[in-house]
Amino acid sequence: MTDLRSIPLKTIEGTETSLAAYAGKVLLIVNTASKCGLTAQYEALETLYETYRDRGFVVLGFPANDFAGQEPGSDGEIQSFCSTVYAIDFPMFSKITVVGEDKHPLYAALIAAQPKARDSEAFRAMLNGRGRNPNPEPEVLWNFEKFLIDRDGAVIDRFAPDIVPSDDRLVGAVERALGSPA
């Protein structure tokens, strides 16, 4: 299995990095989009980050234009949108592909480690009801799917796009991963 921390990444500012920069932290990796019905989750993601960052928690945003063209902007446009509309302070990364043959190696590793999102059936049914053909598992279903990574770099949970960052299932998983407050 690929060590997530060794996969090359690029920040939204263009700096080369990897998840090794977040060693020892609990991470929530989210594929984001600025023109999606779920875009308002940015606000709750920022709140979650602010609530737990002093305990070693980091939200990492990965813009992707894989779903209905809902992230058409350049990295600069995405960065501007996130800072001016949602005052995002958590780290954002360069736009990537999260599904299909061209998916980024990070997402290939995340999906391999956690092939099913928690409680994805309702969201899958909603997409079907709107005439969208959802990706088959294990592919990412839509924007704002979330992967939880423990302090050792292991994928420990995956949440469907409609599980908002304030949902007790997600918050509880983050708290368990963080352990007792320092």
DSSP-assigned letter for residue 80: H
36 is catalytic: yes
d(CA 46, CA 160): 18
Q: Return the residue matching tokens 């998916």.
A: 103
d(CA 117, CA 114): 7
Please tell me which residue in 7, 36, 126, 156 is annotated as part of the active site.
Answer: 36
DSSP-assigned letter for residue 102: T
How open is the CA angle 149-166-24, to the nearest 5 degrees? 25
Q: Which residues contact 46 (CB under 8 A, 6 or more apart)?
A: 59, 86, 87, 88, 89, 90
In three-state secondary structure terms, 32 is: strand
C-alpha distances out from residue 122 to 127, 129, 163, Å: 9, 10, 10
Contact 50, 44 (CB under 8 A): no
Catalytic residues: 36
